[in-house]
Structure 1
Amino acid sequence: MNMFKNAFLTLTLLVMLGCSTVPITGRRQVSLVSDQEVITMSFQAYNDLLKQSRLSNNASQTAMVKRVGQKIQRAVEQFMQQQGASSQLEGYQWEFNLIEDAQQQNAFAMAGGKTAVYTGLLPITKDESGLAVVMGHEIAHAIAKHSNERISQQLLAEYGGATLGAVLGQNPGASSEIVNAAYGIGAQGVLLKWGRTQESEADRLGLIFMAMAGYNPQTAVTFWQRMAAASGGASQPELLSTHPSNETRIADIQKHLPEAQKYYTGR
């Protein structure tokens, strides 16, 4: 009994000591891994992905992805400076790529600013504003350190709160497993859902980022309506498989719009 009690107290202490705060929302999250550790793993995973993928040779679409990404990057840097949190972007090496895959209606952003959009999503985003909705949301996951949070939860659940260095030192092969956990990739490569709290944070921050970048956040509603229409076919867009229902998403976005509009620089 004492053994279980001591283990519980140890985990409680780890959780209390290893916490960080999500920008804007102020939510406390478990953080047992350093930003630099997550960024290093993300860079390696991103480079591996690019080697295994084919970048789009569509010059105008590629330029659009980079243009939207760079605008959101500047918005994020401005936002974090206003929050007195510029240090949280240390080690970031922003990169925006368009990957050729018409079957993948998806996008993602890794810690350190490594971002990718699949060509299969562009018919639904339609224009820069629609693309900004998705990229702002995915980058918000990175800024809110949701990957760090997932890794920390895995370290607690599977390794008793051991440090990432200790786990990899004993089992170097665990690296890919931990990276998969960070970005929600489960068995057989299936993307796992972010938690409702994490999704709501990414929605809220993403709307602010796109607004500061000069894109009207109200277009987020019409984008998700298009996603809802696309999900009516035989196959559901992959992006939807990792997100809440369309009704929930749109209701949350409408709730956050008044706040985001205050940051809109395109008025």
Structure 2
Amino acid sequence: MKSKLIASTLVMAMTIAGCSTSSTGRAKIAFMDSNKLNAMGAQSFEEMKKKEKISKDEKTNAYVQCVANYITVHVPKSAHDGEWEVVVFDSEQINAFALPGGKIGVYTGILKVAEGQDQLAAIMGHEVAHVIEEHANERISAEQVAGIGLMATGVLLGDMDNDTKAMTMGALGIGAQYLALMPYGRSHETEADIVGQELMAKAGFKPEASVKLWQNMAKASGGNQPPEFMSTHPSNESRINQLRENLDKSEPIFNKAKTTPDCVNPIK
């Protein structure tokens, strides 16, 4: 009975894992309903707007909105068909994000690291790329598949004494975190870097600015990064090198761009 249950759950996980591929050709797991994810994104965004201080500086808001307009017009309708809501949060956090359902948040702290419209476009391109590639969907789906595997293991260990079982399950949980879910996060970040760089180039922003951005981000972090294998993000050095290598693809896209953005950065 136990072996049949384990077999069925593992087959379910393997079937789910073979669903589709991303635009870069990476196999992906994404079985959450997109409408539900959009609703979750909208709800999360509304909650953030209630908790975080929103910038009322007209020039800053106009600048961020300007860059966002150039970027989002090139987002496939399959990722989001409609207007994007852009909010600037008045905070020293060096951060930005995009959520399913067409939501973008930018913290004023990152405007001090991103020097000019092209570097801000690199940030937005990266964050919007997460939405285009359904990374939130994949993250939730991957964690559910990992849960199925742990559930099956729990059944298999059912006859062990409680202390041994708890220790074994704890070790397996750590293994799932570092060997599966974290590397999965790194693959998302790497993909968002590449897709985002090409997206900003399509919008008329200089793709080489993405390299300079991450050099600035490395300086801002002061070298305070965990080892790459223990992080959901690639090291600054890894992403800088990959972005530089991808310029051979993104620069021709930039050269064909039909727009020349002119977004005025209020921070000098």
TM over 0.5: yes
Partner residue, 2:21: 21
> Which residue is 1:5 aligned to?
7
Q: Mark the CA change 1:88 to 1:232 in structure 2 (over 3 Å): closer, same or farther.
A: closer
Tell whether 2:212 aligns with 1:222.
Answer: yes
Deviation of the 1:4 alpha carbon: 1.6
Per-residue CA deviations over 1:177-234 (Å, capped at 9, x if unaligned) read xxxxxxxxx9xxxxx886222112101110111111111001111111111222228x
Query: Does the CA contact (< 8 Å) of 2:185 and 2:232 recur in 1?
Result: no
- 2:144 is matched with which residue? 155
> 1:72 maps to which residue?
71
Q: In percent, how many aligned pairs have the same letter?
A: 37
Q: Which whole-Å deviations, capped at 9, do the CAs of 1:144-194 have from their partners, x for residues lacking one?
A: 10000011112223367xxxxxxxxxxxxxxxxxxxxxxxxx9xxxxx886
- Summarize the Cα distance change of 1:41–1:99 in structure 2 as closer, same or farther, 3 Å threshold: same
The match for 2:128 is 139
- Asked if the contact 2:186/2:232 (under 8 Å) is kept, the reply is no
TM-superposed CA distance for 1:93, in Å, is 4.2
Count how many residue pairs are aligned between Structure 1 and Structure 2: 220
For the residue of structure 1 that corresponds to 2:127, the secondary structure is helix
Q: Which residue of 1 aligns with 2:152?
A: none
Q: TM-score if structure 1 supplies the norm length?
A: 0.75
For 1:34 and 1:212, the matched residues in 2 are separated by: 29
Query: Which amino acid in 2 is paired with 1:87?
Result: S
CA shift, 1:89, in A, is: 2.7
Amino acid at match of 1:22: S
C-alpha spacing 1:194/1:154, structure 2 compared with 1 (3 Å): closer
Distance 1:5 1:116, change over 3 A: same
2:118 aligned with 1:119, yes or no?
no
- In structure 2, the CA distance between the partners of 1:193 and 1:138, relative to structure 1 (3 Å rule), is farther
The structure-2 alpha-carbon separation of the partners of 1:194 and 1:113, relative to structure 1 and needing over 3 Å to count, comes to farther
Three-state SS of the structure 2 residue aligned to 1:131 is helix
Structure 1 counterpart SS, 2:205: coil
Give 1:130 shift. Answer: 1.2
Say whether residues 1:99 and 2:101 are aligned partners: no
Partner residue, 2:58: 59
Instruction: Please give the root-mean-square deviation of Cα atoms over the aligned residues, in Å.
Output: 2.4
* Greater RCO structure (CA 8 Å; 6+ sep): 2
Within a 5 Å distance, the mapping from 1:162-177 to structure 2 comes to none
2:35 is matched with: 36
Q: Is the 8 A contact 1:93 1:112 kept in 2?
A: no
User: Is the contact between residue 118 and residue 209 of structure 2 (CA under 8 Å) also seen in structure 1?
Assistant: yes
2:99 equivalent in structure 1: 110
The alpha carbon displacement at 1:57 in A equals 1.7
Q: Which has the larger radius of gyration?
A: 2
Q: Please state whether the residue corresponding to 1:262 is helix, strand or coil.
A: helix
Residue 20 of structure 1 and its aligned partner are, at CA, apart by: 3.1
Instruction: Report deviation, 1:34.
Output: 1.5
Secondary structure at the aligned position of 1:200 is classed as helix
- Structure 1 match to 2:203: 213
Q: Within 1, Cα distance between the matches of 2:147 and 2:100?
A: 22
Tell whether the 8 Å contact from 1:93 to 1:114 is kept in structure 2 after alignment.
Answer: no
Gaps of 5+ in 2: 150-176, 226-230, 261-268
The gaps in structure 1 that reach 5 residues or longer are: 81-85, 161-185, 187-191
Change (3 A) 1:14 1:223: closer
- The alignment status of 1:128 with 2:130, answered yes or no, reads no
Question: Match of 2:144, SS?
Answer: helix
Farther-moved stretch of structure 1 (39-48 vs 51-60) = 51-60
Superposed CA deviations along residues 23-72 of structure 1, whole A, max 9, x for unmatched, are 2x122211121211111110011111111111112111111111111110
